[in-house]
């Protein structure tokens, strides 16, 4: 299916013999710099020991979660080659499947640790979009995004805490006066397997009294914030709960991603 998108297309899978693998590597090295090429390969065949510096783009088509595997695959791109300025990883995640979503969150953290940044091809006129944050450095940027909202804010956080809820209420008072609508998506009070359901019910009531719209769910609840139907924070962090050291969020400006999250959540 990829034929026609490059001058040369190569396929390396477990169906090939070691001799055939060696021949393919030799053919790769022989491709003229003026020609484009695509290599479709099984991950294990382009892992440790595979060296082809010309590669500048990786499509991660198989879900993995271990940092060492992410580093190994992405490392195929981190080779000096004349004319190569940037390297890009296309990562696909099915947020509708919880296991794949969690695996993506782990890969996201690994990308950040080895120096990659999120790229959606869009530019932000406010703060710089397209970045990966962790529990230690997200707060100031996230707070500023909330304060720059002009129309609406939707926050989906399965777990909530009194400190975060009341802090958000205080933070957004003036924005609400100016017409910004705030919607919170979170678990039903009795969905927690710890604590007193009455406590969560009171937090829900506090948010309603503050003018927030509340949507409760019994099971699946994503972790995200969408601001003005365009700026998206997405990952595995409870934005209204206590952060964990391993939590991470990506920040992108994309109307398409925002729209998909709204459909996933409200339809």
Q: Does residue 50 share a domain with residue 77?
A: yes
The predicted structure's pLDDT at residue 123: 45
Q: Does residue 80 share a domain with residue 183?
A: no
Q: What is the mean pLDDT of each run of 10 residues along the chain (267 residues)?
A: 86 89 92 92 81 89 80 84 87 69 81 78 48 88 96 96 97 97 95 84 96 92 95 94 89 90 90
Q: Does residue 102 share a domain with residue 229?
A: no
Residue 23 lies in a domain: yes
Residue 240 lies in a domain: yes
Q: Does residue 77 share a domain with residue 21?
A: yes
Judge contact between 127 and 144, C-beta under 8 A: yes
Instruction: Give the separation between CA 162 and CA 160, rounded to whole angstroms.
Output: 7
Distance (Å) of CA 1 to CA 6, 20, 38, 63: 11, 21, 11, 21
Which of 125, 127, 129, 105 lies closest to 117 in space, CA to CA? 129
Please report, for the domain that includes residue 99, its CATH number: 3.40.50.300
Q: Does residue 158 share a domain with residue 256?
A: yes
Q: Does residue 223 share a domain with residue 187?
A: yes
Helix (H) or strand (E) holding 202, with range, is helix 197-209
User: Final residue of a domain: which of 113, 142, 174?
Assistant: 113
Distance (Å) of CA 257 to CA 12, 87, 232, 250, 263: 33, 23, 7, 12, 10
The predicted structure's pLDDT at residue 190: 86
The predicted structure's pLDDT at residue 64: 80
The predicted structure's pLDDT at residue 97: 62
| pTM (2 d.p.) | 0.65
Residue 122 lies in a domain: no
The predicted structure's pLDDT at residue 237: 94
Residue 2 lies in a domain: no
The predicted structure's pLDDT at residue 119: 67
Domain residues for 13? Answer: 8-113
- Per-position b or e across 226-255, b if 16+ CB within 10 A of its CB: bbbebbbbbbbbbbbbebeeebbbbbbbbe
Query: What are 22's two structure tokens?
Result: 């060696």
The predicted structure's pLDDT at residue 129: 57
Distance (Å) of CA 60 to CA 69, 90, 231: 11, 6, 24
Residue 187 lies in a domain: yes
Residue 123 lies in a domain: no
Please report, for the domain that includes residue 255, its CATH number: 3.30.870.10
Judge contact between 248 and 134, C-beta under 8 A: yes
Number of domain units in the chain: 2
The predicted structure's pLDDT at residue 124: 41
Q: Does residue 109 share a domain with residue 143?
A: no
Residue 55 lies in a domain: yes
Instruction: Give the separation between CA 185 and CA 221, rounded to whole angstroms.
Output: 8
């Amino acid at each position: 299916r990829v034929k026609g998108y490059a001058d040369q297309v190569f396929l390396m899978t477990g169906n090939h013999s070691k001799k055939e693998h060696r021949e393919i590597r030799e053919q790769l090295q022989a491709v003229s710099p003026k020609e484009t090429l695509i290599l479709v390969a099984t991950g294990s065949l382009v892992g440790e020991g595979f060296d082809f510096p010309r590669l500048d783009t990786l499509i991660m088509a198989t879900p993995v979660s271990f940092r060492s595997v992410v580093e190994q695959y992405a490392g195929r791109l981190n080779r000096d080659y004349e004319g190569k300025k940037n390297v890009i990883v296309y990562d696909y995640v099915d947020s509708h499947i919880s296991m794949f979503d969690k695996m993506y969150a782990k890969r996201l953290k690994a990308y950040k640790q080895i120096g990659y940044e999120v790229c959606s091809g869009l530019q932000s006129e406010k703060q710089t979009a397209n970045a990966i944050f962790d529990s230690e450095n997200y707060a100031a940027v996230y707070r500023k995004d909330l304060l720059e909202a002009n129309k609406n804010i939707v926050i989906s956080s399965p777990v909530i805490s009194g400190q975060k809820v009341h802090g958000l209420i205080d933070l957004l008072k003036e924005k609400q006066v100016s017409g910004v609508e705030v919607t919170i998506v979170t678990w039903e009070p009795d969905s927690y397997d710890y604590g007193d359901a009455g406590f969560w019910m009171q937090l829900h009531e506090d948010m309603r009294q503050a003018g927030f719209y509340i949507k409760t769910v019994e099971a699946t609840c994503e972790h995200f914030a969408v601001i003005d139907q365009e700026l998206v924070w997405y990952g595995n962090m409870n934005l209204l709960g206590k952060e964990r050291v391993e939590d991470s969020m990506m920040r992108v400006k994309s109307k398409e991603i925002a729209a998909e999250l709204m459909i996933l959540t409200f339809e």
